[in-house]
Structure 1
Amino acid sequence: MSLRIKLVVENFVRDLKAALEADMQDRIMKEREMKSYLEEREREVAEREAAWKAELGRREAEILKQEARLKMERENLEKEKSVLMGTASNQDQQDGALEITVSGEKYRCLRFSKAKK
């Protein structure tokens, strides 16, 4: 009988070792799969982040271009305003003429009338 008990115990221990080994192998495989999945997700996130940063860089560059263009347009407008506004002057001539200087050319207007609506 003790031989029989010994054989049952040995079978139980052998089956238990095999089950533990199978469980360990399963855990190792799951861990590898999880690690592989996480690496893939990290790569995908890094790619999306790089694409987002590149797009952000392009947008920032476009904004800088537009700001420079607007600054130039504003400067041109100010120049035009100074040419148009700063060159007309009433010289209060004896004849009441208005002298206007545009691009270095002087013009005299002797008669004025109201604009018709």
Structure 2
Amino acid sequence: MIGRFFRRWRKPAPPPPADHRNMNEDWAPGDLAECIVKGPWTPSDPFDPKAGDVLRVVRIREGYSPHFNRIVYTLSFEGKPAGYAWETVGFRKLRPVQEPAEASWSAWLKNTLRVPEPAE
């Protein structure tokens, strides 16, 4: 009976974390990432990437973001401290351009590769 009385003043349970892992671009170590965050990260740190920075991904982790109460994937980068990671939603994956080569360049390359090296 007394327990029911005090239950009214208890804090409600916090909501479960939102799952933001679907906001991902199939990251892999070695990928290039361009920072798209305009303004400071929350919380800010001197090691934070700036908008337009291009960084190489070293590690992808899954974890909980206490600042926004969500489950996310995070990226660690080459040249940044090992324990630091940033949410994937702050980056755009840079994909290599895969346009076909010009016909003249392709023919030149084939002819160059056919010519044997001179023996010494």
- Write 1 or 2 for the structure with the bigger share of helix: 1
Q: Give the structure-1-normalised TM-score.
A: 0.28
Q: Which has the higher contact order (CA 8 A, sep 6+)?
A: 2
Q: Give the structure-2-normalised TM-score.
A: 0.28
